[in-house]
Structure 1
Amino acid sequence: MTRSTPGRPRLSNADIVDLTSWRHELHRHPELSGEEHVTAERVQEMLRPTYPDRIVTGLGGHGVAAVYDSGVPGPRVLLRAELDALPIEETGTPPYLSLVPGKAHLCGHDGHMATLAGVARLLGRKRPERGSVVLMFQPAEEDGSGAARVVADPRFGELKPDYAFALHNAPGLPLGHVAIAEGAACCASRGMRVVLSGRTAHASQPETGLSPMRALGRLMPELTGLSHGAPGTDPDFTLATVCHARLGEPAFGVAPGRAELFVTLRTLTDARMSDLVDRAEAAVQRAAASDGLTVEIGYHDVFATTANDAKAVRIVTDALDELDLGHDAGLLPLRASEDFGRFGDGPHLAIFLLGAGEGRPALHNPDYDFPDELIEVGSRIFMAVLERVNEAEDRAP
């Protein structure tokens, strides 16, 4: 049974109905990374009745930040949710199915927004005792650019927190169970795009051209062969995944003169990523040189490691203990990446996984859907965390 803290507001049944309905409306109208202008407007409409002391819009693109200030000196705490959806056709059958072809909230960001909107309602009724809270609705998490752009926005300097917390729903964990641990929580990753260029020829005379076929064929197993270990047991974990390959044009009369290769590189730490990039680039250069090809290398969807700070983790686990919510390391560290770590330059930071239930479709599956029950649970955890921050400050020497 959950213990209650006197004076801490709780979401009412009417709140939960409203927030659930709002989540469903977000689900019907997904927007991709960098396109979230309507979603941002919906967030602002939801926030206004909670009377934040300040709303900052257009952060790092379409980001929205709501500030709730106690008026008493104290720590500034940032809580983060994401605005963006995925470029995937939804195949589930909820009554609030995505109305946008080829786009859907299949990572649960609609639920994260609803959870933070629940916190906004509670802060609107009772400000923090000390310091301030920044509710950050961040754009473009899925492509790794959003948090970096928010942090680079000159206005973020006025919002920079002392503590930063986020949750992510996690199918595969029991509903409401939390996974949290100190250290690396989500891997660093980046998309490596390789273009090999030679010279086309007539298909009847391939010897007069310069084909990248052999180089492409050698590179795919060589790059995937850089993979090593597992993130939970090996600090030197690396993973290279071939995601796309193209050779020439779809024609029978032309021997190819160009090849393109997409590879995702993944490591547990940023330092290990630097080493993996060096080795991958060396392999590409060798393959190109051996066949006299020119090569271009570029990077996309760059994610740094998200690492949990010991002090922030203790705050979360103390809050979970108070709420009688089970927790352990669970699925951490994840192979997946998360750009929340970009907020960790200075503040104490932690992200935790909130169980979405066992036997559910995985994140990014075309039939995944966020469990509405987590809106209230997540909001309650965040409110307990906010109280624990002040307690942690009192304990500090």
Structure 2
Amino acid sequence: MTETDLAEIRAFRHDLHRHPEVSGAESKTAARVLAHLAPTRPDHVLTGLGGHGVALAYDMAAPGPTVMIRAELDALPITELSEAPHASSLPGTGHLCGHDGHMAILAATARLIRRHPPARGRVLLLFQPAEETGAGAAAVLADLAFGGVAPDWALSLHNMPGLPRGAALLAEGPANCASMGLRLSFGGKTAHAAQPETGLSPATALARLIPALTALGPGGAMGPDFRLVTITHARLGEPAFGIAPGEAELWATLRSRDDGPMAALLAEATALAQAAAEADGLTLEISHHDVFAACANHPQATAVLEGAAQATGLALRTDGLPFRASEDFGRFAALCPSAMLFLGAGEGHPALHNPDYDFPDALIAEGAALFDHAIRQILD
């Protein structure tokens, strides 16, 4: 990778950072990806995958397996606080998770494999939509067009603030929790605040339900039985002193280490909400949002990333996994061996989703070298 390469790819990353798009709205980001990678001459290009997803396939001289490397297209609905010249130009939206950097790493990887192609097989670079909502990977897998390029291996990375530069976190087995957003909408009847008995208030049901839901998932050690319920939003009636409330909403995020326990946790949470509504004569509407499957690293795919990390001089660590946070890359495990590595962004670097976060450009070369070595382990 030359300095000219890196300068061009940094400029690409900064352009992506200036023009963020949230999950499901990444059309211009996809167009920027296609324009920047056109000079790498992909053999096959798929667009509109699972929404705005883009897949670029590079065929080698001899038949062989397909190795997919995934990056994410979407940004976050968070206002960026930055003095950087490439700061977000869109108020309320920012690349504050580093997906712009992950896309830049794939752009650099494309240059490496085009200049020195592996001996056989195919490299598939997937720029996936809607990771932040958990909808993107499932939508790509459900897209019939993706079946024509379905991979035999799936690899990815995520930058990780708090982890020293030059270090990487990787282990086989559980890597990220399953999670689901649970939205509970209660209906009653408003009344004058002077005569609350003439209405039907959800207040006491809400008050009972909040601690009861939290008790279902107390957190604790990250073992097979780990469960966590986090109340993320609550609303009761109108912001007025003269009205006794007649409706309420409660939002909770459910988490489990593995996919299996999530069904039981959801059933228990649903039963509690239904019982609370029935006890007070309220109506109840339940909806599910931001559904993430658990992410687990396959032993063979983990070994490939481990070999690549060692070859590129990264200091491997296994502590701290799995993360409580979710990641929809785990859905590709249903298709083929998959694994994700976490690349150190620096111990003092602002955390992911913080308003002052920015992807470290120095990770572009590190990430591309890692993927290049991983690809060659399989295809050379």
TM-score normalised per structure 1? 0.94
Choose which of 375, 379, 388 in structure 1 pairs with 2:368: 379
CA deviation vs aligned residue, 1:41-65 (integer Å, no higher than 9, x gap): 0000011100010111111111010
Superposed CA deviations along residues 52-87 of structure 1, whole A, max 9, x for unmatched, are 101111111110100000141211010000000000
Determine if contact 1:229/1:236 at 8 Å carries over to the other structure: no
Q: Which of the residues 240, 253, 256 maps onto 1:251?
A: 240
Partner of 2:100: 110
Match of 1:132 among 115, 122, 125: 122
Tell me, in whole angstroms, the C-alpha distance in 1 between the residues paired with 2:256 and 2:129: 24
Q: Name the SS for the 1:56 alignment partner.
A: strand
Question: Secondary structure of the residue that 2:231 maps to in structure 1?
Answer: strand
Secondary structure at the aligned position of 1:93 is classed as coil
Matched position secondary structure for 1:73? strand
- For 1:51, the equivalent position in structure 2 comes to 41
Letter of the 2:367 counterpart = G
- Of the structure 1 ranges 150-159 and 247-256, higher mean CA displacement relative to structure 2 is found in 247-256
Where in structure 1 are there 5+ consecutive unaligned residues? 1-10, 392-397
1:223-234 equivalent positions in 2, closer than 5 A: 223-230=213-220, 232=222, 234=223
Indicate if the aligned counterparts of 2:73 and 2:103 stay in contact, CA closer than 8 A: yes
Pick which of 196-205 and 55-64 moved more: 196-205
Q: 1:78 aligns with which of 58, 64, 68?
A: 68
Deviation at 1:250, TM superposition (A): 1.7
CA distance in 2, matches of 1:223, 1:201: 28
> What code does the residue aligned with 1:138 have?
Q
3-state SS, counterpart of residue 134 of structure 2? coil
1:324 aligns with 2:313: yes
Question: Equivalents in 2 of 1:168, 1:357: separation in Å?
Answer: 13
Q: How far apart, in 2, do the equivalents of 1:124 and 1:324 lie?
A: 23
Cross-structure match for 1:336: 325
Cα shift at 1:251? 2.2
Aligned-residue RMSD, C-alpha = 1.1
- Give 1:231 shift: 5.4
Cα deviation for residue 244 of structure 1 reads: 0.6
**TM-aligned CA deviation for residue 287 of structure 1:** 1.1
Aligned residue runs from structure 1 range 261-340, under 5 A? 261-340=250-329
Give the C-alpha shift of residue 125 in structure 1.
1.8
Query: Quick one: distance in 1 between partners of 2:221 and 2:275?
Result: 29
For residues 242-301 of structure 1, the C-alpha deviation after alignment (integer angstroms, 9 at most, x for no partner) is 111110112222211100011011110011111110111111111111111111111000
| Structure 2 counterparts to residues 356-367 of structure 1, below 5 A | 356-367=345-356
In 1: Cα distance, 2:335 partner to 2:19 partner: 35
Aligned length: 380
Q: What is residue 7 of structure 1 aligned with on the other side? A: none
Contact 2:192 2:243 in 1 (8 A): yes
Offset, 1:123? 2.0
- In 2: Cα distance, 1:230 partner to 1:266 partner: 12
Q: 1:332-388 deviations in whole A, cap 9, x for unaligned? A: 111110010111113110011000000111100111111000000000000000011
Q: Which amino acid aligns with 1:31?
A: E
What residue ranges of structure 2 are gaps of 5+ in the alignment? none
Larger deviation, residues 251-260 vs 208-217:
251-260
User: TM-score, with normalisation over the residues of structure 2?
Assistant: 0.98
CA apart distance, 1:324: 2.3
**Letter aligned with residue 328 of structure 1:** R
Distance 2:312 2:136 in 1: 32
Question: How far apart in 1 are the matches of 2:376 and 2:60?
Answer: 13
Whichever residue aligns with residue 194 of structure 1, its letter is: L
Give the structure 2 partner of residue 156 of structure 1. 146
